[in-house]
Amino acid sequence: MEFIQTAVAWFLGLGSTVIVPIVLILLGLIFRVGWQKAVRGGVTVGVGLAGLFLVVNLIIAALQPAVGALATRLGLELALVDVNWADAGIAWGWPGVAGLVLSIIAVNLIMVFLRLTKTLWTDVWSYWHGSALAGFVWALTGSVVWGVVGGVLYLVLGSLMSDVTAKKYQEFNEMPGIGVPCGTTVQASIFAIPVVWLLERIPGLKDWDASPEGIRKRFGLIGEPAILGLVLGVIIGIAAGYNVQGILGLGMQVATMMLVLPRMVSIISEGLVPITMSIIEFMRERFPDREIYVAVDCAVLLGHPAVMASSVILFPLSILLAAILPGVKMLPIASLAVVPFWAGAVVPYTKGNVVKTVIVLLLFSIPFMYFSTLTADIHTATFANMGQFTAEIEQGLQLASWDMGGDPLGFVILNIFKLFGF
Amino acid sequence: MSKLIVVACGAGINTSTIAEDLIRERMEGEGLDVEVKRVLIADIDKYIGRMDLVVCMMKIYREFDVPQLKGMPFLIGTKAEKQVLLDEIVELIKD
Per the domain annotation, does A1 fall within a domain? Answer: no
- With H, G, I as helix, E, B as strand and everything else as coil, classify residue B62: coil
Per the domain annotation, does A79 fall within a domain? Answer: yes
Q: What is the CATH number of the domain that holds B55?
A: 3.40.50.2300
**Number of structural domains chain B divides into:** 1
Per the domain annotation, does A105 fall within a domain? Answer: yes
Q: Are the beta carbons of A15 and A22 closer than 8 angstroms?
A: no
Q: What is the pTM of this model?
A: 0.87
Whether residue B42 and residue A308 make contact (CB cut-off 8 A), yes or no, is yes
Q: Mark out chain B residues that contact chain A at CB-CB < 8 A.
A: 9-15, 17-18, 21-22, 41-42, 56-61, 72, 75-76, 78-79
Residues A345 and A366: their CA atoms lie apart, in Å, by 17
**Radius of gyration of chain B from Cα atoms?**
12
Tell me the DSSP string of A21-85: HHHHHHHHHHTT--HHHHHHHHHHHHHHHHHHHHHHHHHHHHHHHHHHHHHHHHT----BEE-GG
Q: Which domain holds residue B29?
A: 3-94
Per the domain annotation, does A297 fall within a domain? Answer: yes
Q: What angle do CA B73, B74, B77 make, to 5 degrees?
A: 45
Q: Which domain holds residue A389?
A: 18-56+65-419
Q: Are the beta carbons of A342 and A184 closer than 8 angstroms?
A: yes
List beta partners, residue A119.
Answer: A293
The answer, for A266 touching chain B at a CB cutoff of 8 Å, is yes
Chain A residues with CB-CB distance to B11 below 8 A: 262, 297, 299, 302, 340-341
**Number of structural domains chain A divides into:** 1
**B8 vs chain A: nearest CA distance in angstroms?**
10
Whether residue A303 and residue B75 make contact (CB cut-off 8 A), yes or no, is no
Taking the CA atoms of residue A148, residue A152, residue A154 and residue A156 in that order, the dihedral angle to the nearest 10 degrees is: -170
The tens place of each residue's pLDDT in chain A, 422 residues long, gives 678 778 777 877 777 778 888 888 998 898 888 888 899 889 998 999 899 888 888 888 888 889 888 888 888 888 899 998 899 999 998 989 999 999 999 999 999 999 999 999 988 889 999 999 999 999 999 999 999 999 999 999 999 999 999 999 999 988 888 899 988 999 999 999 999 999 999 888 777 887 887 887 777 787 788 898 999 999 999 989 999 999 999 999 999 988 888 888 888 888 888 888 888 888 888 887 788 898 988 888 887 888 888 998 999 999 999 999 999 999 999 999 899 999 999 999 999 999 999 999 999 999 999 999 999 999 999 999 988 898 899 988 999 999 999 999 999 999 999 998 77
Chain B residues with CB-CB distance to A274 below 8 A: 21
